[in-house]
């Protein structure tokens, strides 16, 4: 990619507010209580929900309601470079935590005191945007598991490369910043019906005006993603009604 300070055209020919191709499915993990799959470009996430079930260890139990517990994990061969060591890392623990917080506002676990709803997110291959894909898959899985939810949660990265605001940066666009210093990568999760933001992080530099604009102009993208997520659930039950599941 050119190291010019102006990013004139996206290297894969997309429009600034165009995501990579998205594919979503529900009911992909047979032994789970609910499951989801979300693929965006070459980033692929599976999520499975187990529960509500008894919380272990017991001291984490909450007598006032159920607890949502998310776990984000990259498969060892899913990174663009070297093998990722199996097991939790500082990065995966942080992402698990922010994933949890991005979903908690829409789920209601009041009826399940002392219980836990475990959400396991696995990434077989990634090309940036993996925490957002994980959140999208997890939201499908929670809905598929019949957990009471106010709305979907849709997530996508917004950002700035050079002087352009855009959505869904891929790995090459993120890497553009390493020599230009002009990239902001901002993963955002949103409750589409209210516009509430439940995940907000950033790598890079951006002005307040650009940040607000980047999120505001991406509103229709969040709605579009949520529609794909809802359709995944509908498709699963349509298959089920036809006796295919």
Partner 1 sequence: MTYTSKEHIISSLKKGVRLDGRKPYEFRPVSIVTGTISTAEGSAVVRCGDTEVIAGVKMAIGKPYPDRPNSGTLSVNAELLPISNPAFESGPPSTVSIELARVIDRGVRESKTIDESALCVTPGEAVWMVNVDLCPLNTDGNLIDVGALAAIAALKNTRFPKYEGGQVDYKTKTDKQLPVGIIPIPVTIVKVGDVILVDPTADEFEVADARLTVTTEEDGTICSLQKGGEAPLSLDEVGQMIDLATAQAKELRAILVKAL
DSSP 107: B
Contact 191, 149 (CB under 8 A): no
Of the two residues 35 and 226, which places its CB atom closer to partner 1 in the complex? 35
**Which residue shows structure tokens 């090309």?**
127
Of the two residues 59 and 77, which places its CB atom closer to partner 1 in the complex? 77
Of the two residues 46 and 176, which places its CB atom closer to partner 1 in the complex? 46
User: Least distance (Å) from partner 1 to the CB of residue 135?
Assistant: 15
- The HSE-up count of residue 180 (CA atoms within 13 Å, CB side) is 22
User: Least distance (Å) from partner 1 to the CB of residue 134?
Assistant: 11
Of the two residues 19 and 92, which places its CB atom closer to partner 1 in the complex? 92
User: Least distance (Å) from partner 1 to the CB of residue 43?
Assistant: 10
User: Least distance (Å) from partner 1 to the CB of residue 53?
Assistant: 8
Of the two residues 28 and 158, which places its CB atom closer to partner 1 in the complex? 28
Q: What is the contact surface with partner 1 in residues (CB under 8 A)? A: 28-32, 42, 46-48, 50, 53, 71, 73, 75-83, 86-88, 118, 120-122, 124-127
User: Least distance (Å) from partner 1 to the CB of residue 187?
Assistant: 19
Burial call 70-90: b when 16+ CB within 10 Å, e when fewer: bbbbbbeebbeeeebeeeeee
**Which residue shows structure tokens 């190291």?**
3
């Amino acid at each position: 990619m050119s190291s010019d300070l102006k990013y004139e055209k996206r290297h894969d020919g997309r429009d600034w507010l165009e995501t990579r191709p998205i594919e979503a499915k529900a009911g992909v993990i047979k032994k789970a209580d609910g499951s989801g799959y979300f693929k965006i470009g070459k980033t692929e996430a599976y999520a499975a929900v187990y529960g509500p079930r008894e919380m272990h260890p017991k001291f984490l139990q909450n007598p006032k309601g159920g607890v949502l517990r998310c776990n984000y994990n990259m498969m060892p061969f899913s990174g663009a470079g070297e093998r990722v060591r199996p097991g939790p890392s500082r990065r995966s623990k942080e992402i698990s935590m922010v994933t949890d917080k991005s979903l908690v506002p829409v789920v209601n676990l009041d009826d399940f005191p002392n219980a836990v709803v475990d959400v396991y997110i696995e990434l077989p291959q990634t090309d940036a945007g993996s925490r957002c894909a994980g959140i999208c898959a997890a939201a499908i899985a929670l809905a598929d598991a019949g957990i009471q939810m106010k709305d979907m949660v849709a997530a996508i990265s917004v950002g700035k490369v050079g002087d352009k605001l855009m959505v869904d940066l891929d790995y090459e666009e993120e890497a553009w910043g390493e020599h230009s210093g002009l990239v902001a990568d901002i993963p955002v999760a949103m409750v589409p019906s209210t516009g509430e933001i439940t995940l907000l992080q950033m790598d890079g530099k951006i002005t307040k005006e650009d940040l607000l604009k980047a999120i505001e102009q991406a509103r229709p993208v969040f709605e579009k993603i949520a529609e794909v997520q809802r359709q995944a659930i509908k498709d699963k039950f349509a298959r089920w009604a036809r006796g295919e599941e």
